[in-house]
Structure 1
Amino acid sequence: MSNILIINAHEPYPSSPGRLNATLVERARTLLAGKGHVIRTTTVHDGYTLADELDKHQWADVILLQTPVYWMSVPWTFKRYMDEVYSAGMEGELCEGDGRTRRDPSRQYGTGGTLTGKRYMLSLTFNAPRAAFDDPGQYLFQGRSVDDLFFPVHMNFRFFGMEPLATFACYDVMKNPDIEQALSHFDAHLARHIEAAAA
């Protein structure tokens, strides 16, 4: 079985108190623990220590990032988490610098990750409908995918040597939510991808 770190990156606002993201975190924790996985969690809004977060990243076989999409990205508090925790891990906990050395100029930028063999999964909640993505006729994303939008977050994990599991997304959660269907799809996604990765 795997060690799984679940990060709840939600930042609450009056219009978005975070019930869905908290539900998804608890659902993942319960389902995966029931399969024998060992689970640790971080709720960014509740605070954290750098040492604990670095330890959790080193401990985890899989990191599940649960986050709402605010203005086409993660909440500012999770961006601060990345700036603080990931910068603190540059001396070997998460990576050995950026991978380049003066002794070996052939080493490419971004190849210094020390978390090789580990996986991560993005689980996102969108106000945007599913139809807004992957369609060149759509006004905003112009044919781009969810993973195109979250390319910088994927690159952060790649910088540490981690490999992606398929991204999960709940769409249209404010104007046209179907929470029961989203939860059912989430359960199936976890079984298909995290269980397969742990097998």
Structure 2
Amino acid sequence: MKNVFIINGHQKYPFSEGKLNASFAEKAELFFNRNGYNVKKTTMEDEYDVNEEIEKFKWADLVFFQTPINWMGVSWSFKKYIDHVFSTGMMGEMSDGDGRTREEPKKNYGLGGKLQGKYMMSVTANAPKEAFNDPNETFFGGISEDDLLRPMHLNFRWFGYEPLPTFMAYDVMKNPEIESDFKRFDDHLNTLFLQK
């Protein structure tokens, strides 16, 4: 796993310029470069060509995706990116449609992925860690971080990727612990990619 495609999915707003997500994406890029990986990247604020993005996915052994949670999902700019790139890619470059065949039209939905490799999501959220995995916390009702991110997991699974453990920085607007988050992030990367 030596080719890494880094995506920064942050959408800038007046109250959230994206510095923290950019910092995590930069830390990831430095980590992978320092450890001999080849890196390509895309930022939602940049212009992109759909066909070039498809080639990045086909090239990558690992897709590293950095995003804030915006209204329980990814930013609208990343959703637009998914609609453009993934929808184009599913017609043969990244998957064979939805995986079903004329012979078996009711089976194997979502299993047409043609890509191999892994993905890792790194997420910033304003929710505290304690809001997850606790049925007494009424809003999320006991769901995990990965339950909340299930649509993104399914998007990557559609193309054949396997998940790596998700990283999340919590409470980043009301009660940030940035230095601690950076340390946990470094440990997360070291554990996943350096320890055998």
Q: Give the TM-score category using the shorter length.
A: over 0.9
Match of 1:179?
Answer: 178
Unaligned ranges ≥5, structure 2 = none
Match of 1:158?
Answer: 157
2:18 is the counterpart of 1:18: yes
Give the alignment of 1:1-199 within 5 angstroms.
2-105=2-105, 107-116=107-116, 118-195=117-194
Alpha-carbon distance in 1 for matches of 2:141, 2:192: 28
Displacement of 1:16 = 0.6
Kindly provide the CA deviation profile for residues 147-167 of structure 1, in whole angstroms up to 9, marking residues without a partner as x: 000111100000101100000
Kindly provide the CA deviation profile for residues 86-119 of structure 1, in whole angstroms up to 9, marking residues without a partner as x: 0110222110001111034474101100013x10
Alpha-carbon distance in 2 for matches of 1:195, 1:133: 29
- Root-mean-square deviation (CA, aligned residues, Å) is 1.3
| Secondary structure in structure 2 of the residue aligned to 1:31 | helix
TM-score scaled by structure 1?
0.95
| Secondary structure in structure 1 of the residue aligned to 2:180 | helix
Alpha-carbon distance in 2 for matches of 1:188, 1:47: 32
| Farther off after superposition, 100-109 or 123-132 | 100-109
- The alignment covers a number of residue pairs equal to 196
Identity of aligned residues (%): 49
Kindly provide the CA deviation profile for residues 133-187 of structure 1, in whole angstroms up to 9, marking residues without a partner as x: 0000002101000100011110000010110000000001001111111001001
Contact 1:63 1:121 in 2 (8 A): yes
